[in-house]
Amino acid sequence: MSIAAGPVARTAEALARELGGELLGDPQAPVTRIDTIDSATTGSLSFIRTERFAEAWVLSKASVGLINQSAAGQARELAQGRALILVPDADLALVRVLEMFAPPQAKPEPGVHSRACVAQSATIAASASIGPNCTLGEEAHIGDGCVLVANVFVGRGARVGAGSVLHPGVRVLDRCEVGERCLLHPGVTIGADGFGYRPGPQGPVKVPHIGNVVIGNEVEIGANSCVDRAKFGSTTIGDRTKIDNLVQVGHNSRIGRACLICGQCGISGSVKIGDGVIMGGAAAIADNLEVGDRAQIAACSGVMNNIPPGEVWIGIPAGPAREYKRNYAAFRMLGKMLPHLKRLMRADEGAL
């Protein structure tokens, strides 16, 4: 699906000027929509981040392309009859373009919808918007400019900071705290009980979880992700951390600032994650481990040991990427080596 530019189309020259990029080719090439490189048509803008995308540009019908300077080896030839805008980072430039072309968002009116259920002791800032079928418990607090779109539950004593937006189906349970300018997508649950049981004579015995969850400022949490409340104390998520859909954060975990956690990751209880950590999709961390600042965990990895700061780990069980790659290369050679090893073993047996 393409994204149209709305009533005001741009030329390649104007767009290059707004992005601070170098223009090659036709300055009057029109930009009326944004498309993927393979589905683009006349008037489309697409982007080129690698040489592979540059090859696809030759067959594309796009009028204008954003191209990484690192992938611009034959840019002047590629721009013939069209336009290319050279930028240091095509992905970051595309973010700015998407902001320019984004359709205007209707700002909800402040106030409480007639179908909302609000406890008498709850406090709501005058500039906040509480949509239909929202429920606010006793002593809940909703800050300035907050938007609870619809069907949002905020429990007893829970707090939502100024400027935060909670989409339909979000649950912020008792005594949990959401910081300022946060974005919680549909179905997020903050403060469900942690998964804690002890063996007993009649079967598992549930461990009470009487702590809460504290989320920092400018945190984004994707649809249907869950952050469990602490057994005691707080499960915490640091400022500017971004969490994808379907992520599980276990009780008493502490996630640092500006982390990126991709979809379907599982973080067990009492895990400590430093600042700037990146977790690829479906990665998992066992309980009570530590991940150092700026570490990276590859997709589908299973972390069973502490990760030092700045290291890249991969695999199941996860280990340092260089070591894993060497081991994997050796593993792939086993099929070719096995006949030779068998001959050597037979020779040794014959010598005996």
160's torsion region: left (phi>0), alpha (psi -120 to 50) or beta? beta
Asked whether the beta carbons of 287 and 251 are under 8 A apart, the reply is: no
Separation of alpha carbons 178 and 173, rounded Å? 11
CB 245 within 8 A of CB 224: yes
> What values do phi and psi take at 51, rounded to 5?
-60, -35
Q: Tokens 């971004």 correspond to what residue? A: 242
Taking the C-alpha atoms of residue 216 and residue 237, their distance in angstroms, rounded to an integer, is 6
Q: Which of 160, 164, 165, 138 is nearest to 149 (CA)?
A: 165
Name the active-site residue from 167, 185, 209, 251. Answer: 251
Adjacent-strand bridge partners of 324: none
3-state secondary structure of 302: strand
Residue 315 DSSP code: T
Assess whether 340 carries a catalytic annotation: no
Q: Among candidates 169, 163, 171, which has minimal Cα distance to 146?
A: 163
Task: Spell out the residues 6+ positions from residue 250 whose beta carbon is closer than 8 angstroms to its own.
Answer: 194, 195, 228, 235, 266, 267, 268, 269, 270, 271, 287
User: 47: which strand partners?
Assistant: 66
Would you tell me how many other CB atoms lie within 10 Å of the CB of residue 60? 21
- What's the CA gap between 252 and 26, in Å, rounded? 57
How far does CA 284 lie from the centroid of its chain?
Answer: 15
Q: How far apart are CA 328 and CA 30, in angstroms?
A: 49
Catalytic residues: 251
